[in-house]
Amino acid sequence: MTDRLPILAWDVGGAHLKAVLLNEAGEVQAVVQLPCPLWRGIQQLQSARAGVLNQLQLQDHDVQHAVTMTGELADAFADRASGVAAIVTEMQRGGQVCFYAGEQWLQAGQAVAQPLQLASANWNASATWLAAQVDQALLVDIGSTTSDLIPLAGGRVVCRGHDDASRLQCSELVYSGVVRTPLMALAQRVPFAGEWTTLAAEHFATSADIYRLLGQLAAEDDQADTADGRSKSVAHSRQRLARMLGQDDADASPAAWLQLAQALRQAQLDQLIQAALRVLSRLEVAPEAPLISAGVGRFLVPALAAALGRPCHDAAEYIVAQAGDPALRLAASKALPAYAVAQLYFSQAGQTRLGSTADGGSQP
């Protein structure tokens, strides 16, 4: 590589496409997140990718592209390998593109030949980058759909799981997020009007409805469709919540529905507490080590840290943005895998030219 170009890093999820633009100095210049419901087909990625470039007023050849993904699990694809191949093909549309595969970077042909090296590797990018910033921590990245709980010790990632299946087994991955999670996945019953009430096993409402009522979900992070296709207003969120109990909004007071939202928030927090206790019980992370929050659900992490008796820091504290802009640092912390893969690529690009390595990978 001769002249260093800006880096545009992509995190291709199953529901959103996130992109972080670094300038030539390695500082965040822009962050974009767009809806990308991949279960509706690969054309959703094509549209979202074009939308990101349009917002940033960039052409493919204006930047170096670094890509990580989790979207290969979307059920539009027959299997994960097919999903990786489809995403790689879509993202490889021009310019210099490398795909994050943990310890190596792959070009498109290599990526398709080694699909499981890329599959759901975005958490690894976040953890690897953060481990170079802090000695000990539990990274808690709460997204729209899932939560990652990744232990760091001695400046290393000390996870036990390495793919979705093994990470689910050891509670380092929890399918619980603050936007898309069906409420029936948070609890089987809830306290309401002095009684325990069973929740309907129907996709009537999602976790976003809880956090709209509680005023904790920022509008720019609330990009998924609602369960009934109606608006994201507090009134409609309350109606969806009531339907989970087989009731109508008018059957109880606004205060009662707000209390129900708080109970469901606690149920979700309890899921995360149990997962964190399991991960921390391995005693790899020092008792005084903090939780570090990231993701659009980062607002839950201080309560999680308090329940565990640990301090809490925000990933934004470690992010470098143009002119030190706090808004950019916050936005990048919500898209941490994209920021992390950008920084990992930036670091490698400063050391070596793009080319094949002996192990069949490539380096930026």
Instruction: Report the 3 state secondary structure along the chain.
Output: CCCCCCEEEEEECCCEEEEEEECCCCCEEEEEEEECCHHHCCHHHHHHHHHHHHHHCCCHHHCEEEEEECHHHCCCCCCHHHHHHHHHHHHCCCCEEEEECCCCEECHHHHHHCHHHHCCCHHHHHHHHHHCCCCCEEEEEECCCCEEEEEEECCEECCCCCCHHHHHHCCCEECCCCCCCEHHHCCCEEEECCEEEECCCCCCCEHHHHHHHCCCCCHHHCCCCCCCCCCCCHHHHHHHHHHCCCCCHHHCCHHHHHHHHHHHHHHHHHHHHHHHHHHHCCCCCCCCCCEEEECCCHHHHHHHHHHHCCCEEEHHHHCCEHHHCHHHHHHHHHCHHHHHHHHHHHHHHCCCCCEECCCCCEEC
Mean pLDDT for the stretch of residues 302-317 = 98
Residue identified by tokens 């950019």 is: 328
| Per-residue model confidence as pLDDT tens digits over 58-106 | 999 999 999 999 999 999 999 999 999 999 999 998 889 999 999 899 9
- Long-range contact list for 38-44, CB < 8 A, 24+ apart? 38/12, 38/13, 38/14, 38/71, 38/74, 38/76, 39/14, 39/74, 39/75, 39/76, 40/76, 41/76, 42/76, 42/86, 42/87, 42/90
pLDDT for 3: 64
**CATH C-level class of 7-124+318-363:** alpha beta
Residue 258 has pLDDT above 80, yes or no: yes
pLDDT for 355: 29
**CATH C-level class of 183-270:** alpha beta
Q: Please report which confidence band the pLDDT of residue 4 belongs to, taking 50, 70 and 90 as the band edges.
A: confident
Closest CA to 308 of 337, 338, 273: 273
Q: How far is CA 263 from CA 108, 143, 195, 258, 301, in A?
A: 47, 20, 13, 9, 17
pLDDT for 2: 41
Task: Tell me, yes or no, if the two domains 7-124+318-363 and 183-270 fold the same way.
Answer: yes
> What is the C-alpha separation between 266 and 180, in angstroms, rounded?
17
Mean pLDDT for the stretch of residues 38-62 = 97
pLDDT for 256: 98
pLDDT for 103: 86
Residue 356 has pLDDT above 60, yes or no: no
Residue 269 has pLDDT above 60, yes or no: yes
| Per-residue model confidence as pLDDT tens digits over 124-170 | 999 999 999 999 999 999 999 999 999 999 999 999 999 999 999 99
| Per-residue model confidence as pLDDT tens digits over 292-303 | 999 999 999 999
Mean pLDDT for the stretch of residues 204-232 = 98
Q: How far is CA 267 from CA 192, 273, 361, in A?
A: 14, 10, 44
pLDDT for 348: 86
Q: Please report which confidence band the pLDDT of residue 350 belongs to, taking 50, 70 and 90 as the band edges.
A: low
Rounded to two decimals, the pTM is 0.94
Q: Where are the domains of the chain?
A: 7-124+318-363, 183-270
Residues 6 or more apart whose Cβ sits within 8 Å of residue 43 = none
Q: Nearest 5°: phi and psi at 184?
A: -65, -15
Q: For the chain, give the mean pLDDT.
A: 94
Mean pLDDT for the stretch of residues 351-360 = 34
Give the strands of the sheet with 7-12, arranged side by side: 28-35, 16-22, 7-12, 64-69, 96-100, 105-106, 362-363, 355-356
Q: Are strands 147-153 and 137-142 parallel, antiparallel or unpaired?
A: antiparallel
Q: Cβ(208)–Cβ(222) under 8 Å?
A: yes
> What is the C-alpha separation between 197 and 166, in angstroms, rounded?
34
